[in-house]
Amino acid sequence: MTRRIWNFSAGPAVLPESVLEEARENLLSLGTTGIGICEHSHRGKPFMAVAAEGEALCRELAGIPDDYAVLFLQGGASLQFSMVPMNFLTPERTADYLVTGMWSEKALKEAKLFGKVHSACSSKDQNFSYIPEGAAYSDSPVYVHFTSNNTIFGTQFRSEPVGIPNDAFLVCDASSDIFSRPIDIRKYGLIYAGAQKNLGPSGVTLVIVRKDLVEAGSKSPATMLQYRTHAENESMYNTPPTFGIYLMMLVFRWIRQHGGLQGMETRNQAKAKVLYDYLEQSSLFRATARSDSRSLMNVTFVTGDEERDNAFVKKAEAAGFSGLKGHRSVGGMRASIYNAFPPAGVEALVQFLKDFEAAV
Ligand SMILES: *Cc1c(COP(=O)(O)O)cnc(C)c1O
């Protein structure tokens, strides 16, 4: 097999090696069925068992109550930017958005197509390098939407926004930190996440949504765009992304083997600490996110000199550290160290940063 390198990609991102090895076996034959995982009917017993285990593990890991539906959808997190307002927002009502990065801006833009929107806070004044302390909500929003981890800017909410108006429900784009720490589902009306950062391959989107909201949702969107269609048919109204669901199920098993969400949080805190501790004392590199807002998932940093940043990324690439170039809107570097990213890779990166700094 070709040597695997340290993959710091922001997404699709690194997956646990044991998961990939198991998937490799099952590509040819799922268990003893003689039919590969991608070749099984989604209505057949073997795949139905995979989907059922996936949902059961998801519920167990996050402690999802029975009055919430777990859906495996397509269209990425980006389709959720539209589906949320399509199902819940009406022209005369308002939805509030906490604007903490490019993804929240995109989500807000879609909501404008269906009703009124209110930006309850924004950190755009400082290029989204921090999470605002409070928010000024509108009078009676249908929902309050926030992005728990800002993948591009390397910031993350420490906990859910507080003080949201009564009757409004909380909607969260958790694409880049879902299941990276324990979560209190009861605080949310709806949580969505594209799988390709923390949960599996691209092509499947996890949606956790309160059933009463699903029932009350609008009936005007196209059938495929109503949550009720997928909730009523257990995500099998049409052919679901079977391979994605399978891989996600394996990742859920892996998370459980590694201490569940509490285990993930401990592991993620330890990994991020190694990197931030180094950046704190470095005289060459510095983190771009404000210290109280730093993400455990995406660590963004710069030297302050664009040419030197580029030289670093190039040298790192040659040494087997892939995907470290920062998003163009921040520049510099970004190390994405999601759940599956190995602690040894972070240690190796810090050593490489030290060596680079010493050689300057
Ligand atoms: C990656 C990402 C998205 C976009 O996800 P797609 O699945 O490509 O649509 C949205 N929100 C956040 C926070 C992300 O990290």
Name the residue ranges covered by the structural domains of the chain: 18-257, 261-359
d(CA 288, CA 206): 30
pLDDT for 344 equals 98
Relative to beta strand 286-287, strand 94-99 is: unpaired
Please answer whether residues 191 and 178 qualify as being in contact, where contact means their C-beta atoms are separated by less than 8 angstroms: yes
Report pLDDT for 2: 79
Alpha helices in the chain (DSSP H): 17-28, 45-62, 76-88, 102-111, 211-216, 227-232, 242-257, 260-281, 306-318, 343-359
Determine the distance separating the centroid of ligand 1 and the alpha carbon of 194, expressed in angstroms.
Answer: 6
Going by alpha carbons, the residue nearest to atom 13 of ligand 1 is: 175
Give the pLDDT of the chain (360 residues) as one tens digit per residue: 678 999 999 999 999 999 999 999 999 999 999 999 999 999 999 999 999 999 999 999 999 999 999 999 999 999 999 999 999 999 999 999 999 999 999 999 999 999 999 999 999 999 999 999 999 999 999 999 999 999 999 999 999 999 999 999 999 999 999 999 999 999 999 999 999 999 999 999 999 999 999 999 999 999 999 999 999 999 999 999 999 999 999 999 999 999 999 999 999 999 999 999 999 999 999 999 999 999 999 999 999 999 999 999 999 999 999 999 999 999 999 999 999 999 999 999 999 999 999 998
Distance, in Å, from the CA atom of 88 to the CA atom of 95, rounded to the nearest integer, reads 9
Q: Whose CA is nearest to atom 7 of ligand 1?
A: 76
CATH number of 261-359: 3.90.1150.10
C-beta 78 within 6 A of ligand 1:
yes
Q: Which atom of ligand 1 is nearest to the CA of 151?
A: 15
Structure tokens at 262: 């509490």
Ligand 1 atom nearest to 149, measured from its CA = 13
Phi, psi dihedral angles at 77 (to 5 degrees): -60, -30
Distance (Å, whole) CA 178 – CA 59 = 13
- What is the 8-class DSSP label of residue 99? E
Ligand 1 centroid to 29 CA: how many Å? 32
Pocket residue to mutate for ligand 1, from 72, 74, 78, most atoms within 8 A of Cβ: 78
Q: How far is 35 from 147, CA to CA, in rounded Å? A: 40
Torsion angles phi and psi, residue 256, rounded to 5:
-60, -40
Residue nearest atom 4 of ligand 1, based on CA coordinates: 77
176 lines ligand 1 (CB under 6 A): yes
Give the up-direction half-sphere exposure of residue 280: CA atoms within 13 A in the CB hemisphere.
9
Would you say the C-alpha torsion 280, 283, 289, 295 has a positive or negative sign? negative
Round to whole Å and give the CA distance between 307 and 263: 39
Whether ligand 1 lies within 6 angstroms of the CB of 76 is answered as: yes
- Pick from 290, 300, 284, 296: which is nearest to 335 by CA? 300
| Residue 1 pLDDT | 66
List, in order, residues 6 or more apart from 60 with CB less than 8 Å away.
256
Residue 77 Cβ contacting ligand 1 at under 6 Å: yes
Amino acid at 213: L
Nearest CA to ligand 1 atom 14: 175
Sign of CA dihedral 144, 336, 109, 173: negative
User: Ligand 1 mean position to 358 CA, how many Å?
Assistant: 36
Tokens coding 65: 């109550």
Q: What is the DSSP string of 140-205?
A: S-SEEEEESEETTTTEE-SS----PPTT-EEEEE-TTTTTSS---GGG-SEEEEETTTTTS-TT-E
Place of tokens 């299941």: 179
> Cβ atoms within 10 A of the Cβ of 84, count?
27
- The residues that are catalytic are 103, 173, 197
Close Cβ partners of 2 (under 8 Å, ≥ 6 residues apart): none
Cβ of residue 103 lying under 6 Å from some atom of ligand 1: yes
Q: Alpha-carbon distance 328 to 331, whole Å?
A: 5
143 touches 87 (CB < 8 A)? no
pTM: 0.98
CATH (one of 1.10.10.10, 3.40.50.300, 3.40.640.10, 2.30.130.40) for 18-257 = 3.40.640.10
Out of 73, 109, 175, 177, mutate this one to test ligand 1's pocket (max ligand atoms within 8 Å of CB): namely: 175
pLDDT of 100:
98
Under 8 Å CB-to-CB from 293, ≥6 apart: which residues? Answer: 129, 130, 131, 155, 156
Same fold, 18-257 and 261-359: no
Which ligand 1 atom lies nearest to the CA of residue 103?
Answer: 11
3-state DSSP assignment of residue 60: helix
How far apart (Å, rounded) are the C-alpha atoms in residues 22 and 212? 38
